Amino acid sequence: MTASKRAGKAAPGFRTKRVYEAAADDDGRRVLVDRLWPRGVAKNKAHIDQWLKDVAPSDTLRRRFHGNPAKWNEFVAAYGRELAQEPASTAAATLRALGRKQPVTLLYAARDESHNNAVALKQLLERKNRAEKRPLKAPGKT
């Protein structure tokens, strides 16, 4: 099933989903955002349209915060700093552009559905898109 066939009438934007869950009609473009290929997932059956390793957190960052929800905000901030650097910034810009035009499902393998890099990435992408939509203030005006 291709991204165009799955897109259906779903609204543009981002959603997250475990890569182990079945593809759905409203997934839109399915993008794996993990650095490593998920265990036990056959490439020909995964229905993954794109694998953006460059947008995944560094191995160091991932290991430092893995399985520690108490440090979630610290992880999101550090991940945001990584996304500002190349090659992650280009990969993130690609995702933001896709998400403005079509539904994009960010796929991840982590067991924790609330604290993982895809959830953090979704927050950061949406925050950046909102910031880019805000009109700039003219100098000297409040």
Q: pLDDT 10s digit of each residue in the chain, 142 long?
A: 555 444 456 789 999 999 999 999 999 999 999 999 999 999 888 899 999 999 999 999 998 888 788 999 999 999 999 999 999 999 999 999 999 999 999 999 999 999 999 999 999 999 988 887 765 555 565 5
Give pLDDT, residue 29.
97
Give pLDDT, residue 5.
47
Helix (H, G, I), strand (E, B) or coil at 53: helix
pTM score, whole prediction: 0.86
- Could you tell me if 122 and 107 are in contact, meaning their C-beta atoms sit under 8 angstroms apart? no
- At residue 29's C-alpha, the angle toward residues 25 and 30, to 5°, is 90
Tokens of 1: 């099933």
Give pLDDT, residue 20.
96
- Measured between its terminal Cα atoms, the distance across the chain in Å is 51
